[in-house]
Amino acid sequence: MFDSLALEYVRTRESQLSFQCQKRIALEFLAGAQGRLLEVGCGPAVMLPDLLAMGFEVQGIDVSGEMIRRGRQRMAGHPLEPRCRLDVADVERLEYPDASFDAVLCMGVLEYLRGHAQALAEISRVLRPNGVAVFSMPNGMSAYHAARTAYVGLRRFERRLRGRAGRDGSLSYNRCMPWRFPRELAAAGMRQLDSRACNFIFFPLQELAPRPSLALNRALLPLSGSFVGPLLGAQYLVKAQKRA
């Protein structure tokens, strides 16, 4: 799937408000960290120039060979290219020694796995003690995902009643529950330090009226760090630290 989406990511990813908000928060969470950084799910290297500019030496990995090819193409000739490397790899089976990295960035990856435990354990293993990890994932507690999940469930129920049960072709996501994620981090030897929500979209407004939805999203951005953020933001970011 991501091989087929690589070109679209190259062309549109950086112009999307949702990505811009995630990027701003992720870079803020990484401020103060230094050394070697592992970017899990690096895609076509859209975050890489900013990470290099912050002084990191970056190892980017992605399960998609086409994403890696596009990322290498993007970074070819970049003045900081010698400080980065891009490879195809699986976050659940990382081929790096223990405590290899000072920081880890993992955006838009955990939701495509059957569960978080193995990936979090591997990230914790390759992270040095007191190292920082930043995660971004869909917020299953948000109004958007709760309403859309209910709608999809009703549609599937209706199909079964009509004798048309079967896969509808939609992709299932393993969404994060903000109240549960700290326990998953703790089980992997990490502790949550901070969290933010973003992408304030609502179902079905996002699907039926994208422009008004975008305007509302921009207007609600100040709620990112508020107590209502996890209820409204469809995307959730967490800053964690590996225990010494």
**Rounded to 5, what percent of the chain is helix, strand, coil?**
45, 20, 35
3-state secondary structure of 115: coil
141-189 confidence digits (pLDDT tens): 888 988 988 888 888 788 888 876 555 555 556 777 888 999 999 999 9
The DSSP H or E segment spanning 61 is strand 57-62
| Greater model confidence, 155 or 240 | 240
Domains and CATH numbers, the chain: 2-139+173-200+224-242 (3.40.50.150)
Please check whether residue 54 is in contact with residue 132, taking contact to mean a CB–CB distance below 8 angstroms: no
Strand-by-strand arrangement of the 101-107 sheet: 84-88, 57-62, 36-40, 101-107, 127-138, 235-242, 190-198
Highest mean pLDDT among 13-17, 90-94, 170-174: 90-94
What is the number of H-type helices and E-type strands within the chain? 10, 7
21-46 confidence digits (pLDDT tens): 999 999 999 999 999 999 999 999 99
Residue 154, judged by CB atoms within 10 A of its CB (0-12, 13-18, 19+), counts as exposed
Q: Report the candidate in 195, 197, 229, 207 with the shortest Cα–Cα distance to residue 147.
A: 207
